[in-house]
Chain A
Amino acid sequence: MREITLGNLDDIARGSGILGTGGGGDPYIGKLLAREAIRSHGPVRLVRIDEVRADATVVPVSGMGAPTVLLERVPNGREDAAALRALERHIGRRATHLAPLEVGGVNSMLPIACAARTGLPLVDEDAMGRAFPEAQMVLPGLAGISISPMALADDKGNTVVVEAVDNHTAERIARAVCVELGCQISCADTVLRGDQLAAGLVPATLTLAGRLGAAVREARAAHRDPVAAARVVLAGVPLLTGKVVDVMRRTEGGFARGHARIEGTREDAGRVLELGFQNEHLLATRDGVTVATTPDLIWFWTARPATR
């Protein structure tokens, strides 16, 4: 994939929703934002890791906050560029490329909208290859790259730049600012040099989301099994076919935590899968044995036959 256009945006959104593994927020609003931005400003150029110069300045942009708020207080579209400009003023140089922070869920879409509006190229990789709940839980952190300086912006023109002593603290400060600014803000942070991308990002994840979305769409159109099609793209292993018989949810520390119990049907009749989640699906235990755990991506598909 070389460009993100109105033609392949839906596939990327569909695929990124799948890569969200239960969390990450519904890409729907993000897709509408990206679509409106591409309609007004044209397609987004997508570049591979080897096309980025070693001294390039790559800035991941993302949204932070509550998915519920994003669905209600829809952005005005200028927040992410405002965060980016605030960060550029602080570090004294301009971004040459943008990057998604998390390819799973709505945060796959917001950088596309920002890239369309700013005209900057977008690198085809992200910082976790999935969705995860906190800002410091990303690959660049392992590579020793700091989240700070971190620029935050809201829909009214307020911006805050955070210089924190470590990544956990940056996350905590940003979370507090986020609540004050209405629980949904845009962030530009974790500045990467071009030669840090290989160590700090997961390659070709937007392309993967697009392929995944296309495979599911094509399977549905041809009345084939979309789950099987997705499994081929992802090299997935089936854990259990069954029905959800119980879901327990609670809020702890601002997260939706809980577990679901799935009883097997058909060839899995008699087996039971327990799924633990904190926003995303984190742990799958089948008949008392752990069969998948983070960093595995644990998917959960709803069976729906094609009707017409």
Chain B
Amino acid sequence: MRIGIDVGGTNTDAVLLGYDDRVLAAAKSPTTPDITSGVTAAVRALDPPAESVTAVMIGTTHFLNALVEGARLTPVAAVRLGLPATAAVPPMADWPARQRAAVGGYGYLCHGGREFDGRPLSPLDPEELKRTAADIAARGLTSVAVSSVFSPVAETDERQAAEILRAELGEGVHFSLSHDLGRVGLLARENATIINASLRDLATVIVESLGKALAELSITAPFFLSQNDGTLMDVDFARTCPVATFASGPTNSMRGAALLSGVGDCAVIDVGGTTADIGMLTGGFPREAAGESEAAGIRVNFRIPDVLSLGIGGGSLVSRRGGTGPRSVGHLLTREALVFGGTRLTATDLAVAAGRADIGDSAHVAHLEPEFTERALERIAGRLAEGVDRMRTSAAALPVVAVGGGSVLMPEPLPGFADVRRPAHFGVANAVGAAIAQIGGEVDRVFRVPDGRRDSVLAEARDEALGRALDAGARPGSVRVVDIEEVPLAYLPGGATRIRVKAVGDLDLRRIGDITWCGAGATADA
């Protein structure tokens, strides 16, 4: 049996999944500031047989929230290797003021880095790095982000620079190296590395809180955190690479929707308190957004699911003219909505008045005109249907799966979409998605593809991704390639092509303990 937990901003959800991925129990509990007691309460409500639990998978938006709030972050020394290039745009030049202040804004430009083909851009300068270390020490900084030009092509400069800095700075200083965090695009990769470095202390606290909660429940099974792409990372990796959890929320809810509904190719509408998030699932995995992504207004280089957010949720305010959202009472729903004895008309009140949901006290909404209620709900349905229509890429019939507590707002079917399903346990799809997360392996870099060698280069990249998934703890035989992307790079000689291959497989519980984790390189300070 596995336990899936989603630690959200408002609620902590938990589910107990059997060996056949059936939901055996589900529970919700308010998220608490210490995290521990919220998790303990939710899991205790499942009443799991502690000795039969084989693994616990946890999804959390805590790290992303910390960045958005600019709170609980550790000041970072951002060391960039790339002089004489890159000086025109120093580290964090494009950050919002709040986040920049929260991480201290300490940038250091040093020599080092590579050209696109791996040639040295300029040699590392140990004396310069020692002077940098002295300044870092004088400022009392304990987390260092090292980013080197073209480190996705050649990572040695980052490693060597970290060794030199570590020798100067001594124990107790964390290092985050950019080549562990992604692909070509210096500023976005550097940003992710700095964010990661700023979350290291918080990661330690959260991992301990989660471990403590499970210990209190006498659960001794290993626990994992879910990553952006719906795969798992172990506790050591989570401590060193917290930034990899950032987009796990939408990913988990969509993957959970796929399992609960049994549909792998569909549109998913996750209706929460404030927004309805629409995404597309292909083969059980979310379609990822093209182009650059942002976290808290900062450009980053990791992939996030392609999600269209509409300002429609269970807590959305309804105007006198029958328009819904985007303003919402959010987590104050149980105080402010009419059905809870409050004074504000919310979308949830409409659903109760129309008999679609049994929440709170329906007597409080008996006065609403049925015609008004129906028309307002029709408008919501129309907007959701239009959103799904924008996200779809073909005219073929498309099943729509609705999850999230607010999905009671949706009629079945939606205009233009005959097949709308709201599976059992739709309110805890996030936690279900966490529980079924798999083990992944990914390759994403620039390959040279000489004429006539495309097939062999692609095969090489596939083998590497499959090997990484196995190394990360996937069960042999369960690993498959789920995504291949090839983008030829304009103006680069030698058929330079960016190739990305992603492979996933099931977690091999027998091998826990003797596996190399996906981000093994990230544990540079182990």
Contact = CB atoms under 8 A, between A and B. Distances in A.
Bound pair (A, B): yes
Interface of A: 28-29, 32-33, 35-37, 65-69, 71-77, 113, 155-157, 175, 178-179, 182-183, 243-245, 249-251, 254-256, 263, 265, 269, 279, 303-305, 307-308
A279 B490 CA distance: 8
B487 interface: yes
Interface stretch (B35-43, B69-77, B88-96, B100-108): B88-96
Contacts of B446: 68
B309 interface: yes
A36 B487 CA distance: 31
Interface string B119-149: 1011000000000000000000000000001
B121 A73 contact: yes
Contacts of B309: 307
Given A65-B491, A182-B115, A265-B389, A308 B87 contact: no
Given A29-B187, A307-B310, A75 B488 contact: no
Q: Is the interface of B mostly helix, strand, loop or mixed?
A: loop
A71 B394 contact: no
Contacts of B390: 303, 305
Contacts of A245: 393-394
Nearest to A77: B88
A157 B84 CA distance: 9
B293 to A, nearest CB: 13
19 contacts: A28-B292, A28-B299, A36-B89, A68-B446, A68-B498, A71-B188, A72-B150, A73-B82, A73-B86, A73-B113, A75-B88, A76-B84, A156-B122, A182-B119, A183-B493, A245-B394, A251-B489, A307-B308, A308-B326
Interface residues of B, number: 52
Interface in B153-207: 184-188
A254 B497 CA distance: 11
A20 B121 CA distance: 30
A180 B356 CA distance: 68
Nearest to A65: B491
Nearest to B449: A251
B492 A307 contact: no
B302 to A, nearest CB: 15
A183 B446 CA distance: 14
Interface of B: 82-90, 93-94, 113, 115-116, 119, 121-122, 149-150, 184-188, 275, 292, 299, 308-311, 326, 386-387, 389-390, 392-395, 446, 486-493, 495, 497-498
A157 B184 CA distance: 24
B185 A249 contact: no
A243 B310 CA distance: 20
Main secondary structure of the interface of A (DSSP, over half): mixed
Contact of B85 (A66, A73, A251, A269): A73
Contacts of A65: 491
A71 B393 contact: no
B87 to A, nearest CB: 4
Contacts of A74: 82, 85-86, 88-89, 149, 186-187
List the 7 closest pairs (A to B, CB-CB), nearest first: A77-B88, A251-B488, A66-B491, A76-B87, A155-B85, A74-B86, A182-B115
Contacts of B85: 73-76, 155-156
A71 B492 contact: no
A243 B186 contact: no
Nearest to A182: B115
Contacts of A269: 395
A255 B490 contact: yes
A74 B80 CA distance: 11
A178 B115 CA distance: 12
A302 to B, nearest CB: 9
A155 B111 CA distance: 13
Given A33-B88, A77-B88, A307-B311, A250 B186 contact: no
A113 B386 CA distance: 43
